[in-house]
Amino acid sequence: MSDFLPPGSTIGILGGGQLGRMLTMVARRMDYRVVSWIGGPDSGPAGLADAVIEEPFDSEEALEEFIAVSDVATVEFENIPKGLLENVAGSIPLYPSPQAIAICQHREREKRFLSENGFPCAKYFEIDSEDSLADALKELPKNGGILKTAEFGYDGKGQLPVSRDSAPESVWTQFDAPRAVLEEKIDLAGELSVLVVRDRVGQVECYDPVENYHRDHILDVSIVPAKFDPAILQQASEVAVGIAEALDYVGILAVEFFLSRDGRLLVNEMAPRPHNSGHHTIDACDTSQFEQQLRAITGLPIGSCRLHSPVVMLNLLGDVWIENDDTPKWDEVLAKSGTTLHLYGKHDARKGRKMGHLNITAASQDQVSETLREVRTILKMPEWTRV
174-201: per-residue pLDDT in tens?
888 889 999 999 999 999 999 999 999 9
Rounded Cα distance between 229 and 237, Å, is 13
User: What pLDDT, on the 0 to 100 scale, is given for residue 177?
Assistant: 84
Query: pLDDT-derived band of residue 43, with 50, 70 and 90 as boundaries?
Result: confident
Q: What is the pLDDT of residues 59-69, one digit of tens each?
A: 999 999 999 99
Assigned architecture for domain 10-94: 3-Layer(aba) Sandwich (3.40)
Whether residue 159 has pLDDT greater than 50: yes
Assigned CATH class of 123-184: alpha beta
Q: Which residues pair with 198 in a beta bridge?
A: 204, 251
Q: What is the pLDDT of residues 201-260, one digit of tens each?
A: 999 999 999 999 999 999 999 999 999 999 999 999 999 999 999 999 999 999 999 999
Q: What is the pLDDT of residues 12-24, one digit of tens each?
A: 999 999 999 999 9
What does the domain layout of the chain look like in residue ranges?
10-94, 123-184, 188-378
User: What pLDDT, on the 0 to 100 scale, is given for residue 155?
Assistant: 56
Mean pLDDT (whole number) for 294-312: 98
Assigned CATH class of 188-378: alpha beta
Tell me if 10-94 shares its fold with 123-184.
Answer: no
User: What pLDDT, on the 0 to 100 scale, is given for residue 1?
Assistant: 43
Contact 156, 216 (CB under 8 A): yes
User: What pLDDT, on the 0 to 100 scale, is given for residue 154?
Assistant: 59
Q: What is the pLDDT of residues 331-357, one digit of tens each?
A: 999 999 999 999 999 999 999 999 999
User: What pLDDT, on the 0 to 100 scale, is given for residue 191?
Assistant: 98
Contact 217, 210 (CB under 8 A): no
Give me the DSSP letters along 254-292. Answer: EEEEEEETTS-EEEEEEESS--GGGTTHHHHBSS-HHHH
User: What pLDDT, on the 0 to 100 scale, is given for residue 192?
Assistant: 98
The amino acid present at 154, given as its one-letter code, is Y
Q: What is the pLDDT of residues 105-153, one digit of tens each?
A: 999 999 999 999 999 999 999 999 999 999 999 999 888 999 999 886 5
Q: What is the pLDDT of residues 282-291, one digit of tens each?
A: 999 999 999 9
Q: Which residues of 360-386 are buried (b: 16+ CB within 10 A; e: fewer)?
A: bbbeebebbbebbebbbebbebeebee
The Cβ-side half-sphere exposure at 191, using a 13 Å CA radius, reads 17
pTM to 2 decimal places: 0.95
User: What pLDDT, on the 0 to 100 scale, is given for residue 176?
Assistant: 80
For residue 144, what is the DSSP state?
Answer: -
By the 10 Å C-beta count (0-12 exposed, 13-18 middle, 19+ buried), 247 is classed as: buried
